């Protein structure tokens, strides 16, 4: 089922999510809904809090070199913890909760992440570049943070001004 995606400045997006305890059918339905919602909105990543569920769950589905977004490349990440990080990368990020805004953000280039899959199996993996960036972006959501918080003071000001103007135009 496609769910509604919360957008900035909805205060629910600032919620700190908590760990999943039961790897059951409810979790699987939620993961399937997150995937469907992300694809429907043309996203490459989604955190559960973006559909109003305060659980440490995220999905990432990268676009491959042929420009296709294949379900076999879907990454489902539950209760993630970054255990090591290294290097610096600047990448242009966007977010389904802040539609049509794309800004350069600095992140770790490489991270080692401990997480669980939908069946409760533990994984420890190293990710680099796009996946590392996407994971850090989504894990920020789980802690109640948005990528716009990482912009410089001036860029943030400019964003707030344009966002307010856009909100006014919509009403």
Contact (Cβ atoms closer than 8 angstroms) between residue 84 and residue 111: yes
Q: Does 30 bind Co ion (CB under 5 A)?
A: no
Q: Which stretch binds Co ion (CB under 5 A): 65-73, 90-98, 106-114, 160-168?
A: 90-98
106 is catalytic: no
Which of 58, 75, 95, 139 contacts Co ion by CB under 5 A?
A: 95
Nearer to Co ion, 66 or 95 (CB): 95
Residue with the closest Cβ to Co ion? Answer: 95
Catalytic annotation, pick one of 72, 84, 138, 162: 138
Q: Does 142 bind Co ion (CB under 5 A)?
A: no
Interface residues with Co ion (CB under 5 A)?
95
């Amino acid at each position: 089922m496609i769910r509604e995606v919360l957008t900035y400045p909805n205060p629910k997006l600032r919620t700190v999510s908590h760990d999943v305890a039961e790897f059951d059918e409810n979790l699987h339905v939620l993961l399937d809904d997150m995937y469907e919602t992300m694809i429907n909105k043309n996203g490459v990543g989604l955190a559960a809090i973006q559909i109003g569920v305060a659980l440490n769950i995220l999905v990432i589905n990268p676009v491959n070199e042929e420009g296709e977004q294949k379900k076999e490349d879907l990454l489902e990440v539950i209760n993630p913890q970054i255990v090591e990080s290294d290097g610096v990368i600047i990448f242009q990020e966007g977010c389904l909760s802040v539609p049509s805004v794309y800004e350069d953000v600095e992140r770790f280039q490489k991270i080692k992440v401990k997480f669980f899959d939908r069946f409760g199996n533990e994984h420890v993996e190293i990710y680099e570049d796009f996946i590392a960036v996407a994971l850090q972006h989504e894990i920020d959501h789980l802690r109640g943070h948005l990528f716009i918080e990482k912009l410089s003071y001036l860029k943030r000001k400019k964003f707030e001004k344009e966002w307010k103007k856009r909100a006014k135009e919509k009403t």
